[in-house]
Chain A
């Protein structure tokens, strides 16, 4: 929650104004190309070294998660009957678990699961937040009141406990993680939809919205075509930080055994398994924990970088 509220700070109404003045006035007319908004944002993003490193790390981790299992001999569901709870050596680079499974293979498998869940949840939650928040602000009246009430209701309920209750009694098996995605998305949108709503309130007074309205465009078309694109900078930041939030929530649930179920694994499941003997056999814990921290840290760094790059009033990106 902290990340979300922090993430939404400093984001002005999605500006429709052109880029800052110093870019617009080329030294000699026609000598320098005028930068589009996307190029400008990209340049500002590249100036933030932490964010660039974060982006590279995420892409690298995603590639490793995709092709890694092909590169190594041990698969995540293999059992090595000669190595139970063995420390790292040349055969098992990160050691083995109590059941004789290779920690490296498990970590890769868990990482890909956590990544998939993180991105799916962020995408769904941000989409819901955009649609619901924009609808509430644009339509107004009773609809807005009802939506805000539901948002308040969902913020009062401790989502962690409720998701744990549902997954405990819910279906088990290889596809149970899809339920987890749905649940995390359902509880992930309310806070950001509030921010989208307050932004929409100012956007909807703009002339182009009024023009579209008087041309007879139906409300849903105005929302999708004119409002949501104009709050997009907030949505991009929200989705990015949402990935970090979702990964943390998923691993937290899995740590207690409420999330991804065996035989499948996620980083949280692995850490939970390793944590029980972390003080005596630290390798089962340290491998996945390190990967998790690097992953979330990179996502947060990219989120911070995007926020600075997309925020026209921020000076931290330097001059474009």
Chain B
């Protein structure tokens, strides 16, 4: 068992190494940090541009292989992921942004998952009734709406609501704003006001896809022989559904949840950009627009780690929940 886990882990590390190296090569050949300095007005001295790029290991006059080697040794020996063309340290950026993402995403993602499971399972028990049909159409609508459309629509609605209310209740730019008053309560209230709208958006997105998945799983479970047996031996409907159908239908969900929570950090690109949260998802976009080779590679590596952690977590979850896997 342990040998198997270690072998898989080794395979994952090789996978990640190749993926990150490929990304480095792609980013280093496709992005052009020099263009940032050439656009400056008044123009900069070409020699000072060159020395600046050289000091940050970004000059394309150095052979790609040499740049890659310098970058790799820095990462492996000093855990130094490099600098942006403008000199920002990638390690510091990521260190700060992870917490921004966590603060933004934790509540919304969790609420979305829990409510999604509940709604999906409930809809399955009422298959083809009005309530099920309404839920199905509504979740289809949300799943088909891109995150950026939902985000902006929520902002349009919030602006309208603010106008009606006569004061700025819904905040949608940034993590914090102007704080009115003394003490800890205004600070907290301000943060909550800024969290409200993006949390609702994230919750809706998670809820919709989760409830669709859970409804399918639950329908499969409800139609299975062991639930029929449970009913046939005279169990109450409630007990047959909750204890026999729902428990089985939650096993695949657990693996999905493990995966979602792990990949949560890089999944909220649109929400972070639209609501002005400087988190990890927004960092991916900012680095590409800022020709920041080292930043892009670091985000990719981070996302890759998230995916692999999610995969390992879901393996473990299945082993815990499914006796067939655990015993074999």
A interface with B by C-beta (< 8 Å): 2-3, 6, 9-10, 50, 149, 152-153, 155-158, 160-162, 164-166, 168-170, 244, 248, 251-252, 255-258, 271-272, 275, 278-279, 282, 285, 289, 292-293, 296-297, 299-301, 304, 315
Contacts and interface: CB of A to CB of B under 8 A. Distances in A.
A278 B155 contact: yes
A165 B152 contact: no
Contacts of A272: 148
B144 A156 contact: no
Given A168-B288, A169-B32, A256-B285, A161 B299 contact: yes
Contacts of A258: 288
Nearest to A285: B152
A157 B23 contact: yes
Given A168-B30, A169-B30, A275-B148, A293 B216 contact: no
Contacts of A275: 148, 152, 274
A122 B57 CA distance: 40
A256 B146 CA distance: 13
Contact of A162 (B15, B26, B155, B285): B26
Contacts of A285: 152, 156
Interface in B271-328: 273-274, 284-285, 288-289, 291, 296, 299-300, 303-304, 307-308
B156 A278 contact: yes
30 contacts: A2-B143, A6-B212, A6-B216, A153-B15, A157-B23, A158-B299, A158-B303, A161-B288, A161-B303, A162-B23, A162-B26, A164-B285, A164-B288, A166-B30, A169-B31, A244-B144, A252-B146, A255-B146, A257-B289, A258-B288, A278-B155, A285-B152, A285-B156, A289-B152, A289-B153, A292-B146, A297-B140, A300-B144, A301-B140, A315-B223
A296 B145 contact: yes
B: interface residue count bin: 35 or more
A130 B299 CA distance: 31
A121 B148 CA distance: 22
Nearest to B216: A9
Given A10-B220, A156-B15, A256-B285, A166 B26 contact: yes
A152 to B, nearest CB: 6
A289 B155 CA distance: 14
Contact of B216 (A10, A168, A300): A10
A150 to B, nearest CB: 10
A3 B210 CA distance: 11
Interface in B210-231: 212-213, 216, 220, 223
Nearest to B153: A289
Contacts of B266: 158
Top 3 closest A-B pairs, CB basis?
Answer: A169-B30, A297-B144, A296-B144
B110 interface: no
A299 B140 CA distance: 11
B15 A3 contact: no
Contact of A156 (B146, B152, B291, B304): B304
Contacts of B209: 2, 6
Contacts of B71: none
Given A165-B296, A166-B30, A279-B155, A160 B269 contact: yes
A157 B22 contact: yes
Nearest to A164: B288
A155 B27 CA distance: 18
A170 B30 CA distance: 7
Contacts, number: 124
A293 B145 contact: yes
Contacts of B30: 165-166, 168-170
B148 A158 contact: no
Interface string B1-44: 00000000000000110110011001101111000000000000
Q: Which of B15, B149, B266, B288 has the most CB of A within 10 A?
A: B149
Contacts of B143: 2-3, 300
B102 to A, nearest CB: 18
A85 B65 CA distance: 50
A113 to B, nearest CB: 16
Given A244-B144, A251-B146, A282 B212 contact: no
A282 B223 CA distance: 47
A98 to B, nearest CB: 16
Nearest to A301: B140
B216 A156 contact: no
Given A272-B148, A296-B144, 17 more contacts: A2-B213, A9-B216, A155-B307, A156-B16, A157-B23, A165-B296, A168-B289, A168-B291, A169-B31, A248-B146, A256-B289, A271-B152, A278-B152, A289-B152, A289-B153, A292-B149, A293-B144
B31 A165 contact: yes
Q: Tell me which of A166, A244, A256 has the highest count of chain B C-beta atoms within 10 A of its own C-beta.
A: A256
Contact of A158 (B137, B213, B300): B300
Contacts of B141: 293, 297
A267 to B, nearest CB: 9
B270 interface: yes
A256 B270 CA distance: 9
Contact of A153 (B19, B27, B299): B19
A299 B270 CA distance: 22
Contacts of A282: 156
